[in-house]
Amino acid sequence: MRVNPYPMPELLAALNQTELKAQQAALEISTGKSVNVPSDDPSAAALLVDNNDQATFNAGFLHDLSAINGQLSAADSTLSSVQTALRQALSLGVEGGNGTLSDADRAAIVAQLQGIQSQVLALANSSYQGNYLFSGTIIGTAPYAVSGTDPSGVTYNGNDGVNQVAVGNGYQLAINQPGSQLFSAQGNSVFQALNDLIVAVGSNTGVDTAVNEVDSAANYLSVQGVFYGNALAQVQSQTTYLNSAKLQISEQQNSLGAADLSVAATDLSSAQTDTQAALAAISKFAGNTLFDYLR
């Protein structure tokens, strides 16, 4: 058995190792992570970077989906309000077709219909968080304005564009319909139908035809409005999927990089004991030196 007459370098190396072990254990306890730098576990660190990137992307998509859900809900609610207004107009139109009404009665119904016309115009110009819902892609411009020359009584100032938003990797979702498709479509214009009904009741001529025109426009709008219900369902489905992916990523991160705190605490205690033993051994060989004061 060979005895090393100069053990000091080995003792110092052992002291350094125990101190490093103590530092690593203390870091794991403070951060709750077993992988704090890539050198701790290169393969796990690479996977954690990928997971963090995906988590960041998913968080962005979830934020956008929340905003989209609000916008779609606002548009869907607006169309429901328009449908309610059109049903009121139909009821007034039927009442206005009664041949026994006086001129004053018809004038009163016309005034109510004009009020509904103004209400529908305001609804068609609805906005959400500062952006107009039915202007196509020109979201900063009110889609409709009153017109004294257009037969429908309004002019459309938006465009026919549809906004597409990324809500996942390679997944684009259409989030709007332009007003030109909803309220002023050729042959099914809500504004034209209301204007024709107002004229018909006021002149007591062709009221039945005008009522049918409003009914047709309302039915057309109902069919077009299905878009928003379908879009809201897609938003909900994608939100559920991304939240599930978020949970899976969190579980993977815990599996890859979470520290075992009980093991880390044991390692720290062991390293501290080893450090004290190394210091005691060094002090015996070094005489009365600084190491004596570190014990």
Q: What is the mean pLDDT of residues 188-212?
A: 96
What pLDDT sits at residue 269? Answer: 67
Higher confidence at residue 155 or residue 248? 155
pLDDT at position 107 over 80:
yes
**HEC assignment per residue over 153-211:** CEEECCCCCCCEEEEECCEEEECCCCHHHHCCCCCCCHHHHHHHHHHHHHHCCCHHHHH
pLDDT at position 275 over 50:
yes
What is the CB neighbour count within 10 angstroms for residue 278?
A: 21
What pLDDT sits at residue 45? Answer: 55
Q: What is the mean pLDDT of residues 149-176?
A: 92
Instruction: Give the Å distances, CA to CA, from 151 to 42, 160, 161.
Output: 72, 20, 24
286, 11 in Cβ contact below 8 A? no
Higher confidence at residue 3 or residue 268? 268
pLDDT at position 72 over 90:
yes
Higher confidence at residue 27 or residue 235? 235
Return the exposure string of 91-123: e unless at least 16 CB atoms fall within 10 Å of the residue's CB, then b: ebbebbbeeebeeeebeebbebbeebbebbbeb
pLDDT at position 15 over 70:
no
What pLDDT sits at residue 263? Answer: 60
Distance in angstroms (rounded) separating the CA atoms of residues 265 and 261: 6
Mark out the alpha helices in the chain (DSSP H runs): 8-31, 42-96, 103-124, 179-182, 190-203, 207-257, 261-286, 290-294
Q: What is the mean pLDDT of residues 116-136?
A: 97
Higher confidence at residue 221 or residue 270? 221
What pLDDT sits at residue 30? Answer: 62
Quick: pLDDT tens for 45-62.
Answer: 555 456 676 677 778 888
pLDDT at position 175 over 90:
yes
